[in-house]
Amino acid sequence: MDSFTLVIFGITSNLAQIKLIPTLYDLVAGGAIDSDFSVIGVGRTPMDQSQFNSFISKTLRTPNRHHTHSIDGKIESTLLTKLHYLPADLTDPKSYEQLKNKITTLRHKNLMIYLATFPSLYSTIFNELHSAGLTTSSVDSWTRVMIEKPIGSDRSSAAEVNNLITKYFKENQIFRLDHYLGKETLQNILTFRFGNGILEPLMTSEHIDHIEVTASEDFGIGSRGSYYDQNGAIKDVGQNHLLQMIALATMDKPTEMSSEAITKERVKVLQNLVCDPSSLVTGQYEGYLTEKDVAPNSTEETYFSFKTMLNTDRFRGVPIYVRGGKFLARTATEVAIIFKDSPNVLIYRIQPNEGIVLKIMTKKPGHTLELEESYMQFCYPHDVDLPDAYEKLIIDALRGDQTYFNDTNEVDAQWAFTDPLIEAKHGMTPAIYAKGSWGPKDDINWLEPSTAFCSI
Ligand code: BG6
Protein backbone atom coordinates (compact mmCIF):
# COMPACT_ATOMS: atom_id res chain seq x y z
CA MET A 1 0.00 0.00 0.00
CA ASP A 2 1.50 3.40 -0.94
CA SER A 3 1.36 6.37 1.42
CA PHE A 4 -1.90 8.27 1.54
CA THR A 5 -3.77 11.18 3.07
CA LEU A 6 -7.25 10.46 4.32
CA VAL A 7 -9.50 13.50 4.41
CA ILE A 8 -12.61 13.04 6.55
CA PHE A 9 -15.31 15.65 5.97
CA GLY A 10 -17.44 15.75 9.10
CA ILE A 11 -14.82 14.68 11.65
CA THR A 12 -17.01 15.80 14.56
CA SER A 13 -20.13 14.03 13.21
CA ASN A 14 -21.85 11.26 15.10
CA LEU A 15 -20.59 8.74 12.53
CA ALA A 16 -17.00 9.89 12.93
CA GLN A 17 -17.21 9.77 16.71
CA ILE A 18 -18.92 6.40 16.93
CA LYS A 19 -17.22 4.62 14.06
CA LEU A 20 -14.46 6.37 12.14
CA ILE A 21 -12.22 7.64 14.94
CA PRO A 22 -12.33 4.36 16.91
CA THR A 23 -11.75 2.51 13.63
CA LEU A 24 -8.62 4.56 12.93
CA TYR A 25 -7.39 3.66 16.40
CA ASP A 26 -8.07 -0.04 15.77
CA LEU A 27 -6.35 0.08 12.39
CA VAL A 28 -3.25 1.59 13.99
CA ALA A 29 -3.42 -0.81 16.98
CA GLY A 30 -3.76 -3.86 14.72
CA GLY A 31 -1.01 -2.72 12.35
CA ALA A 32 -3.42 -3.08 9.44
CA ILE A 33 -2.03 -0.10 7.56
CA ASP A 34 1.42 -0.88 6.26
CA SER A 35 2.27 2.51 4.80
CA ASP A 36 2.80 6.06 5.94
CA PHE A 37 -0.38 8.09 6.18
CA SER A 38 -2.00 11.22 7.57
CA VAL A 39 -5.58 12.07 8.34
CA ILE A 40 -7.07 15.52 7.88
CA GLY A 41 -10.27 15.93 9.82
CA VAL A 42 -12.46 18.68 8.39
CA GLY A 43 -15.17 20.23 10.54
CA ARG A 44 -17.11 23.41 11.15
CA THR A 45 -16.20 23.80 14.82
CA PRO A 46 -13.36 26.25 15.42
CA MET A 47 -10.61 24.27 17.21
CA ASP A 48 -6.83 24.45 17.29
CA GLN A 49 -4.73 21.30 17.06
CA SER A 50 -4.49 20.81 20.81
CA GLN A 51 -8.25 21.15 21.25
CA PHE A 52 -8.67 18.70 18.39
CA ASN A 53 -6.31 16.23 20.09
CA SER A 54 -8.39 16.49 23.26
CA PHE A 55 -11.53 15.90 21.22
CA ILE A 56 -9.99 12.74 19.72
CA SER A 57 -8.80 11.47 23.12
CA LYS A 58 -12.22 12.09 24.64
CA THR A 59 -13.94 10.39 21.71
CA LEU A 60 -11.71 7.32 22.03
CA ARG A 61 -12.50 7.10 25.73
CA THR A 62 -16.25 7.42 25.28
CA PRO A 63 -17.43 3.82 25.04
CA ASN A 64 -20.17 3.08 22.55
CA ARG A 65 -21.80 -0.19 21.68
CA HIS A 66 -19.21 -0.88 18.98
CA HIS A 67 -16.07 0.09 20.83
CA THR A 68 -15.71 -0.71 24.47
CA HIS A 69 -12.07 -1.68 24.80
CA SER A 70 -9.48 0.27 26.76
CA ILE A 71 -7.16 2.76 25.08
CA ASP A 72 -3.43 2.20 25.00
CA GLY A 73 -1.64 5.54 25.50
CA LYS A 74 1.19 4.64 23.11
CA ILE A 75 -1.13 3.76 20.26
CA GLU A 76 -3.16 6.87 20.95
CA SER A 77 0.00 9.02 20.73
CA THR A 78 0.94 7.40 17.42
CA LEU A 79 -2.55 8.08 16.11
CA LEU A 80 -2.47 11.70 17.27
CA THR A 81 0.75 12.34 15.33
CA LYS A 82 -1.14 11.39 12.19
CA LEU A 83 -4.26 13.47 12.76
CA HIS A 84 -4.62 17.09 11.64
CA TYR A 85 -7.60 19.35 11.98
CA LEU A 86 -8.90 21.80 9.43
CA PRO A 87 -11.76 24.07 10.52
CA ALA A 88 -13.71 24.83 7.37
CA ASP A 89 -16.81 26.35 5.90
CA LEU A 90 -17.76 23.70 3.37
CA THR A 91 -19.53 26.21 1.16
CA ASP A 92 -16.48 28.48 0.91
CA PRO A 93 -13.98 27.81 -1.93
CA LYS A 94 -11.20 29.22 0.29
CA SER A 95 -11.58 26.23 2.63
CA TYR A 96 -10.80 23.89 -0.26
CA GLU A 97 -7.68 25.89 -1.16
CA GLN A 98 -6.54 25.52 2.47
CA LEU A 99 -7.29 21.82 2.29
CA LYS A 100 -5.28 21.50 -0.90
CA ASN A 101 -2.31 23.29 0.67
CA LYS A 102 -2.44 21.01 3.67
CA ILE A 103 -2.57 17.91 1.47
CA THR A 104 0.41 19.21 -0.54
CA THR A 105 2.41 19.88 2.63
CA LEU A 106 1.85 16.34 3.87
CA ARG A 107 3.41 15.00 0.64
CA HIS A 108 1.71 11.60 0.56
CA LYS A 109 1.21 9.89 -2.75
CA ASN A 110 -2.50 9.06 -2.73
CA LEU A 111 -5.66 10.78 -1.56
CA MET A 112 -8.72 9.18 0.04
CA ILE A 113 -11.69 11.48 0.64
CA TYR A 114 -14.36 10.32 3.10
CA LEU A 115 -17.71 12.08 3.33
CA ALA A 116 -19.19 11.67 6.80
CA THR A 117 -21.42 14.71 6.44
CA PHE A 118 -25.12 15.25 5.88
CA PRO A 119 -25.94 14.01 2.36
CA SER A 120 -27.37 17.47 1.60
CA LEU A 121 -23.74 18.71 1.50
CA TYR A 122 -22.49 16.14 -1.02
CA SER A 123 -23.06 18.22 -4.14
CA THR A 124 -21.40 21.33 -2.69
CA ILE A 125 -18.39 19.30 -1.56
CA PHE A 126 -17.99 17.54 -4.93
CA ASN A 127 -18.26 20.78 -6.89
CA GLU A 128 -15.74 22.53 -4.67
CA LEU A 129 -13.32 19.58 -4.60
CA HIS A 130 -13.42 19.57 -8.38
CA SER A 131 -12.82 23.31 -8.63
CA ALA A 132 -9.85 22.92 -6.30
CA GLY A 133 -8.41 20.17 -8.52
CA LEU A 134 -8.80 17.49 -5.87
CA THR A 135 -10.73 14.84 -7.77
CA THR A 136 -8.37 13.34 -10.33
CA SER A 137 -6.06 10.35 -10.16
CA SER A 138 -2.79 10.43 -12.09
CA VAL A 139 -0.79 7.64 -13.72
CA ASP A 140 1.06 6.70 -10.57
CA SER A 141 -1.20 7.88 -7.76
CA TRP A 142 -4.86 7.60 -6.98
CA THR A 143 -7.61 9.80 -5.61
CA ARG A 144 -10.65 7.94 -4.27
CA VAL A 145 -13.85 8.93 -2.55
CA MET A 146 -15.88 7.03 0.05
CA ILE A 147 -19.47 8.08 0.62
CA GLU A 148 -21.97 6.79 3.10
CA LYS A 149 -25.47 5.60 2.49
CA PRO A 150 -28.03 6.96 1.94
CA ILE A 151 -27.06 8.11 -1.55
CA GLY A 152 -29.93 10.49 -2.27
CA SER A 153 -33.30 10.29 -0.61
CA ASP A 154 -35.19 8.60 -3.46
CA ARG A 155 -34.49 7.15 -6.88
CA SER A 156 -34.30 10.44 -8.74
CA SER A 157 -32.19 12.30 -6.17
CA ALA A 158 -29.85 9.28 -5.99
CA ALA A 159 -29.48 9.49 -9.78
CA GLU A 160 -28.59 13.18 -9.40
CA VAL A 161 -25.95 12.41 -6.77
CA ASN A 162 -24.57 9.60 -8.91
CA ASN A 163 -24.48 11.84 -11.98
CA LEU A 164 -22.62 14.45 -10.03
CA ILE A 165 -20.05 12.05 -8.57
CA THR A 166 -19.46 10.35 -11.89
CA LYS A 167 -18.97 13.75 -13.50
CA TYR A 168 -15.86 14.24 -11.40
CA PHE A 169 -14.75 10.72 -10.45
CA LYS A 170 -14.45 7.53 -12.51
CA GLU A 171 -16.40 4.54 -11.22
CA ASN A 172 -13.17 2.86 -10.01
CA GLN A 173 -12.53 5.89 -7.77
CA ILE A 174 -15.95 5.74 -6.05
CA PHE A 175 -16.61 3.65 -2.95
CA ARG A 176 -20.29 3.86 -1.95
CA LEU A 177 -20.41 2.39 1.48
CA ASP A 178 -23.11 0.35 3.20
CA HIS A 179 -21.25 -0.92 6.24
CA TYR A 180 -23.36 -4.10 6.35
CA LEU A 181 -21.47 -5.34 3.31
CA GLY A 182 -18.29 -5.08 5.38
CA LYS A 183 -19.59 -7.31 8.15
CA GLU A 184 -17.61 -10.51 8.46
CA THR A 185 -20.80 -12.44 9.21
CA LEU A 186 -22.54 -11.19 6.07
CA GLN A 187 -19.56 -11.92 3.84
CA ASN A 188 -19.45 -15.40 5.33
CA ILE A 189 -22.90 -16.15 3.86
CA LEU A 190 -21.29 -16.27 0.42
CA THR A 191 -18.49 -18.58 1.57
CA PHE A 192 -20.97 -20.81 3.39
CA ARG A 193 -23.24 -21.06 0.36
CA PHE A 194 -20.77 -21.31 -2.47
CA GLY A 195 -17.80 -22.86 -0.67
CA ASN A 196 -19.88 -25.85 0.45
CA GLY A 197 -22.76 -26.48 -1.88
CA ILE A 198 -24.49 -29.16 0.23
CA LEU A 199 -27.46 -26.95 1.09
CA GLU A 200 -27.40 -24.89 -2.10
CA PRO A 201 -29.67 -27.31 -4.07
CA LEU A 202 -32.32 -26.73 -1.36
CA MET A 203 -32.34 -22.97 -1.94
CA THR A 204 -35.36 -23.04 -4.23
CA SER A 205 -39.09 -22.45 -4.04
CA GLU A 206 -39.57 -26.21 -4.08
CA HIS A 207 -38.00 -26.52 -0.62
CA ILE A 208 -38.31 -23.12 1.05
CA ASP A 209 -41.55 -22.10 2.70
CA HIS A 210 -40.57 -18.51 3.39
CA ILE A 211 -37.70 -16.28 4.45
CA GLU A 212 -37.61 -13.84 7.38
CA VAL A 213 -35.16 -10.97 7.52
CA THR A 214 -34.87 -9.11 10.82
CA ALA A 215 -32.83 -6.15 12.04
CA SER A 216 -34.17 -5.31 15.48
CA GLU A 217 -32.47 -3.06 17.99
CA ASP A 218 -33.26 -2.71 21.68
CA PHE A 219 -32.26 0.97 21.77
CA GLY A 220 -33.62 4.18 20.30
CA ILE A 221 -32.35 6.96 18.07
CA GLY A 222 -30.11 8.49 20.74
CA SER A 223 -28.86 11.92 19.75
CA ARG A 224 -29.50 11.42 16.02
CA GLY A 225 -32.97 12.98 15.93
CA SER A 226 -32.24 15.56 13.25
CA TYR A 227 -31.00 12.89 10.84
CA TYR A 228 -33.47 10.18 11.79
CA ASP A 229 -36.59 12.31 11.74
CA GLN A 230 -35.90 13.28 8.14
CA ASN A 231 -35.54 9.67 7.08
CA GLY A 232 -37.32 7.08 9.22
CA ALA A 233 -36.48 3.41 9.59
CA ILE A 234 -37.19 2.32 6.00
CA LYS A 235 -34.62 4.72 4.58
CA ASP A 236 -32.25 4.26 7.52
CA VAL A 237 -31.87 0.49 7.34
CA GLY A 238 -34.52 -0.97 4.99
CA GLN A 239 -33.34 0.56 1.72
CA ASN A 240 -29.78 -0.58 2.35
CA HIS A 241 -28.75 -3.03 5.11
CA LEU A 242 -31.84 -5.24 4.90
CA LEU A 243 -31.88 -5.36 1.10
CA GLN A 244 -28.20 -6.35 1.15
CA MET A 245 -28.98 -9.17 3.56
CA ILE A 246 -31.61 -10.48 1.13
CA ALA A 247 -29.19 -10.10 -1.78
CA LEU A 248 -26.42 -12.16 -0.19
CA ALA A 249 -28.78 -14.85 1.08
CA THR A 250 -30.53 -15.38 -2.26
CA MET A 251 -28.14 -14.38 -5.05
CA ASP A 252 -26.97 -16.87 -7.64
CA LYS A 253 -23.44 -18.16 -7.63
CA PRO A 254 -21.22 -15.60 -9.35
CA THR A 255 -19.28 -16.87 -12.36
CA GLU A 256 -16.12 -16.03 -10.44
CA MET A 257 -15.31 -14.49 -7.07
CA SER A 258 -14.47 -11.11 -8.59
CA SER A 259 -15.82 -7.73 -7.60
CA GLU A 260 -17.74 -7.33 -10.89
CA ALA A 261 -19.27 -10.82 -10.81
CA ILE A 262 -20.35 -10.62 -7.15
CA THR A 263 -21.80 -7.13 -7.57
CA LYS A 264 -23.64 -8.23 -10.71
CA GLU A 265 -25.39 -11.05 -8.84
CA ARG A 266 -26.37 -8.78 -5.94
CA VAL A 267 -27.80 -6.25 -8.38
CA LYS A 268 -29.73 -9.02 -10.17
CA VAL A 269 -31.49 -9.89 -6.91
CA LEU A 270 -32.29 -6.27 -6.14
CA GLN A 271 -33.69 -5.67 -9.62
CA ASN A 272 -35.89 -8.75 -9.33
CA LEU A 273 -37.35 -8.03 -5.91
CA VAL A 274 -41.04 -7.27 -6.18
CA CYS A 275 -42.27 -4.53 -3.90
CA ASP A 276 -45.69 -4.95 -2.27
CA PRO A 277 -46.54 -1.59 -0.65
CA SER A 278 -49.92 -2.96 0.51
CA SER A 279 -48.08 -5.23 2.95
CA LEU A 280 -46.30 -2.34 4.68
CA VAL A 281 -46.81 -1.87 8.42
CA THR A 282 -45.18 1.06 10.20
CA GLY A 283 -44.77 1.88 13.87
CA GLN A 284 -43.32 4.50 16.15
CA TYR A 285 -42.03 3.79 19.64
CA GLU A 286 -43.69 5.43 22.59
CA GLY A 287 -41.75 8.54 23.52
CA TYR A 288 -40.24 9.12 20.07
CA LEU A 289 -41.95 12.51 19.78
CA THR A 290 -40.10 13.83 22.81
CA GLU A 291 -36.67 12.74 21.56
CA LYS A 292 -34.19 15.57 20.91
CA ASP A 293 -34.55 17.18 17.44
CA VAL A 294 -37.71 15.24 16.56
CA ALA A 295 -40.74 17.22 15.34
CA PRO A 296 -43.46 17.11 18.05
CA ASN A 297 -46.01 15.81 15.52
CA SER A 298 -43.63 13.64 13.51
CA THR A 299 -45.08 10.65 11.67
CA GLU A 300 -41.69 9.13 10.83
CA GLU A 301 -41.56 5.41 11.48
CA THR A 302 -39.12 3.74 13.86
CA TYR A 303 -40.42 0.31 12.84
CA PHE A 304 -41.52 -1.24 9.58
CA SER A 305 -42.33 -4.63 8.18
CA PHE A 306 -43.23 -5.63 4.65
CA LYS A 307 -43.47 -8.62 2.38
CA THR A 308 -41.54 -9.03 -0.83
CA MET A 309 -40.81 -11.76 -3.33
CA LEU A 310 -38.16 -12.54 -5.89
CA ASN A 311 -39.28 -12.73 -9.47
CA THR A 312 -36.77 -15.40 -10.51
CA ASP A 313 -37.29 -19.04 -11.54
CA ARG A 314 -35.53 -20.21 -8.39
CA PHE A 315 -37.46 -18.23 -5.79
CA ARG A 316 -40.73 -17.23 -7.44
CA GLY A 317 -43.57 -17.69 -4.91
CA VAL A 318 -41.37 -17.68 -1.77
CA PRO A 319 -42.53 -14.87 0.52
CA ILE A 320 -39.72 -12.83 2.05
CA TYR A 321 -40.81 -11.00 5.22
CA VAL A 322 -38.66 -8.08 6.26
CA ARG A 323 -38.69 -6.04 9.47
CA GLY A 324 -36.49 -3.50 11.15
CA GLY A 325 -36.83 -1.11 14.03
CA LYS A 326 -35.67 0.61 17.18
CA PHE A 327 -36.54 -0.02 20.82
CA LEU A 328 -37.70 -3.54 20.10
CA ALA A 329 -37.54 -6.50 22.47
CA ARG A 330 -34.02 -7.57 21.54
CA THR A 331 -31.12 -6.63 19.32
CA ALA A 332 -30.90 -9.31 16.65
CA THR A 333 -29.94 -9.19 13.00
CA GLU A 334 -30.55 -12.34 11.01
CA VAL A 335 -31.87 -14.05 7.91
CA ALA A 336 -33.96 -17.14 8.68
CA ILE A 337 -34.80 -19.56 5.88
CA ILE A 338 -37.75 -21.68 6.86
CA PHE A 339 -38.02 -24.98 4.99
CA LYS A 340 -41.28 -26.58 3.88
CA ASP A 341 -42.90 -29.47 5.72
CA SER A 342 -40.12 -29.77 8.28
CA PRO A 343 -38.93 -28.14 11.47
CA ASN A 344 -35.72 -27.06 9.76
CA VAL A 345 -34.66 -23.43 9.70
CA LEU A 346 -31.33 -22.18 8.39
CA ILE A 347 -30.28 -19.03 10.22
CA TYR A 348 -27.59 -16.59 9.20
CA ARG A 349 -27.11 -14.67 12.45
CA ILE A 350 -25.32 -11.45 11.71
CA GLN A 351 -25.30 -10.28 15.33
CA PRO A 352 -25.23 -10.99 18.24
CA ASN A 353 -24.34 -14.68 18.81
CA GLU A 354 -22.83 -14.56 15.35
CA GLY A 355 -22.97 -17.79 13.40
CA ILE A 356 -24.69 -19.97 10.83
CA VAL A 357 -26.99 -22.58 12.29
CA LEU A 358 -29.50 -25.18 11.18
CA LYS A 359 -32.41 -25.87 13.45
CA ILE A 360 -33.09 -29.61 13.57
CA MET A 361 -35.14 -32.10 15.59
CA THR A 362 -33.29 -34.57 17.76
CA LYS A 363 -34.32 -37.24 20.20
CA LYS A 364 -34.19 -36.22 23.80
CA PRO A 365 -31.87 -38.67 25.59
CA GLY A 366 -33.91 -41.13 27.66
CA HIS A 367 -36.13 -44.18 27.54
CA THR A 368 -39.05 -42.56 25.79
CA LEU A 369 -39.31 -41.04 22.36
CA GLU A 370 -39.38 -37.35 23.00
CA LEU A 371 -38.24 -34.82 20.47
CA GLU A 372 -36.42 -31.59 21.09
CA GLU A 373 -35.16 -28.75 18.95
CA SER A 374 -31.40 -28.45 18.58
CA TYR A 375 -29.03 -26.46 16.43
CA MET A 376 -26.23 -27.69 14.19
CA GLN A 377 -24.03 -24.71 14.47
CA PHE A 378 -21.03 -22.84 13.20
CA CYS A 379 -20.10 -20.17 15.74
CA TYR A 380 -17.12 -17.86 15.78
CA PRO A 381 -14.64 -18.85 18.50
CA HIS A 382 -15.01 -16.63 21.54
CA ASP A 383 -11.39 -15.55 21.49
CA VAL A 384 -11.62 -14.27 17.93
CA ASP A 385 -12.23 -10.54 17.67
CA LEU A 386 -14.24 -10.07 14.49
CA PRO A 387 -12.86 -7.09 12.55
CA ASP A 388 -15.25 -4.20 12.48
CA ALA A 389 -17.03 -3.57 9.18
CA TYR A 390 -15.54 -0.09 8.88
CA GLU A 391 -12.01 -1.42 9.37
CA LYS A 392 -12.55 -3.96 6.61
CA LEU A 393 -14.10 -1.48 4.20
CA ILE A 394 -11.48 1.22 4.72
CA ILE A 395 -8.73 -1.32 4.04
CA ASP A 396 -10.63 -2.60 0.96
CA ALA A 397 -10.98 0.95 -0.36
CA LEU A 398 -7.28 1.67 0.24
CA ARG A 399 -6.49 -1.46 -1.75
CA GLY A 400 -8.94 -0.46 -4.48
CA ASP A 401 -11.17 -3.51 -3.97
CA GLN A 402 -14.81 -2.61 -4.73
CA THR A 403 -16.39 -6.04 -4.08
CA TYR A 404 -18.29 -4.91 -1.00
CA PHE A 405 -19.27 -1.45 -2.21
CA ASN A 406 -22.34 -0.40 -4.17
CA ASP A 407 -22.17 0.71 -7.77
CA THR A 408 -24.62 3.06 -9.50
CA ASN A 409 -26.93 0.25 -10.65
CA GLU A 410 -27.11 -1.20 -7.18
CA VAL A 411 -28.09 2.08 -5.57
CA ASP A 412 -30.64 2.63 -8.33
CA ALA A 413 -32.16 -0.84 -7.82
CA GLN A 414 -32.39 -0.28 -4.06
CA TRP A 415 -34.30 2.96 -4.51
CA ALA A 416 -36.48 1.57 -7.30
CA PHE A 417 -37.61 -1.02 -4.77
CA THR A 418 -37.92 1.41 -1.86
CA ASP A 419 -39.66 4.40 -3.47
CA PRO A 420 -43.12 2.74 -3.52
CA LEU A 421 -42.76 1.86 0.16
CA ILE A 422 -41.92 5.46 1.01
CA GLU A 423 -44.91 6.64 -1.00
CA ALA A 424 -47.12 4.16 0.84
CA LYS A 425 -45.84 5.19 4.26
CA HIS A 426 -46.74 8.81 3.63
CA GLY A 427 -50.38 7.80 3.47
CA MET A 428 -50.17 5.94 6.78
CA THR A 429 -50.02 6.84 10.44
CA PRO A 430 -47.50 4.69 12.30
CA ALA A 431 -48.94 2.58 15.11
CA ILE A 432 -47.49 3.49 18.49
CA TYR A 433 -45.73 0.53 20.14
CA ALA A 434 -44.31 0.04 23.61
CA LYS A 435 -40.55 0.17 24.01
CA GLY A 436 -39.25 -3.35 24.48
CA SER A 437 -42.08 -4.96 22.50
CA TRP A 438 -41.77 -6.57 19.05
CA GLY A 439 -43.49 -3.60 17.42
CA PRO A 440 -47.02 -3.26 16.06
CA LYS A 441 -49.02 -6.34 15.20
CA ASP A 442 -48.98 -7.49 11.62
CA ASP A 443 -50.22 -10.63 9.86
CA ILE A 444 -46.88 -12.36 10.03
CA ASN A 445 -46.15 -15.05 12.55
CA TRP A 446 -42.53 -14.03 13.11
CA LEU A 447 -40.04 -16.46 14.57
CA GLU A 448 -38.56 -14.95 17.68
CA PRO A 449 -34.77 -14.60 17.13
CA SER A 450 -33.34 -17.35 19.28
CA THR A 451 -30.68 -16.86 21.94
CA ALA A 452 -30.16 -20.62 22.20
CA PHE A 453 -27.18 -20.91 19.89
CA CYS A 454 -23.66 -19.53 19.65
CA SER A 455 -24.16 -18.03 23.07
CA ILE A 456 -21.23 -16.38 24.74
C1 BG6 B 1 -26.87 2.51 10.61
C2 BG6 B 1 -28.17 3.13 10.98
O3 BG6 B 1 -26.66 2.56 9.22
O4 BG6 B 1 -26.87 1.15 11.01
C5 BG6 B 1 -28.43 2.98 12.46
O6 BG6 B 1 -28.13 4.50 10.62
C7 BG6 B 1 -28.35 1.54 12.88
O8 BG6 B 1 -29.70 3.52 12.80
C9 BG6 B 1 -27.03 0.96 12.40
O10 BG6 B 1 -28.42 1.46 14.28
C11 BG6 B 1 -26.93 -0.52 12.67
O12 BG6 B 1 -25.61 -0.93 12.45
P13 BG6 B 1 -24.96 -2.09 13.29
O14 BG6 B 1 -23.62 -2.29 12.68
O15 BG6 B 1 -24.91 -1.64 14.69
O16 BG6 B 1 -25.88 -3.24 13.13
Q: What is the pLDDT of residues 82-138, one digit of tens each?
A: 999 999 999 999 999 999 999 999 999 999 999 999 888 898 999 999 999 999 988
| Centre of ligand 1 from the C-alpha of residue 85, in Å | 27
Summarised one tens digit per residue, pLDDT across range 165-220 is: 999 999 999 999 999 999 999 999 999 999 998 999 999 999 999 999 999 999 99
**Ligand 1 atom at shortest distance from the alpha carbon of 351:** 16
Asked if residue 215 lies in contact with residue 236, where contact means CB atoms within 8 angstroms, the answer is no
Asked if residue 24 lies in contact with residue 69, where contact means CB atoms within 8 angstroms, the answer is no
> Of all protein residues, whose CA lies closest to atom 13 belonging to ligand 1?
180
- Which pTM value belongs to this model? 0.94
- Please give the pLDDT value at position 64: 76
| Euclidean distance between CA atoms 428 and 266, whole angstroms | 31
| Euclidean distance between CA atoms 413 and 416, whole angstroms | 5
Note if 241 is an active site residue.
yes
CATH classification (class only), 4-148? alpha beta
**Ligand 1 atom at shortest distance from the alpha carbon of 215:** 16
- Please give the pLDDT value at position 381: 86
Q: Give me the architecture of the 181-386+407-433 domain, per CATH.
A: 2-Layer Sandwich (3.30)
Considering the candidates 67, 108, 179, 241, report the single residue annotated as catalytic: 241
| Centre of ligand 1 from the C-alpha of residue 179, in Å | 8
CA distance readout (Å), 183 to 42, 203, 273, 337: 27, 23, 23, 20
C-alpha triplet 24, 26, 32: angle, nearest 5°: 90
**Ligand 1 atom at shortest distance from the alpha carbon of 183:** 14
User: Residue 357: CB within 6 Å of ligand 1?
Assistant: no
> Of all protein residues, whose CA lies closest to atom 6 belonging to ligand 1?
236
Residues ≥6 apart with Cβ < 8 Å to 44: 12, 87, 88, 89, 90
CA distance readout (Å), 304 to 197, 301, 364: 33, 7, 38
Could you say which residues of the chain have pLDDT below 70?
65-67, 456
User: Residue 236: CB within 6 Å of ligand 1?
Assistant: yes
Asked if residue 145 lies in contact with residue 167, where contact means CB atoms within 8 angstroms, the answer is no
User: Residue 217: CB within 6 Å of ligand 1?
Assistant: yes
User: Residue 265: CB within 6 Å of ligand 1?
Assistant: no
| Euclidean distance between CA atoms 208 and 337, whole angstroms | 7
The domains of the chain are located at 4-148, 181-386+407-433
How many H helices and E strands in the chain? 14, 16
- Please give the pLDDT value at position 382: 80
- Please give the pLDDT value at position 131: 95
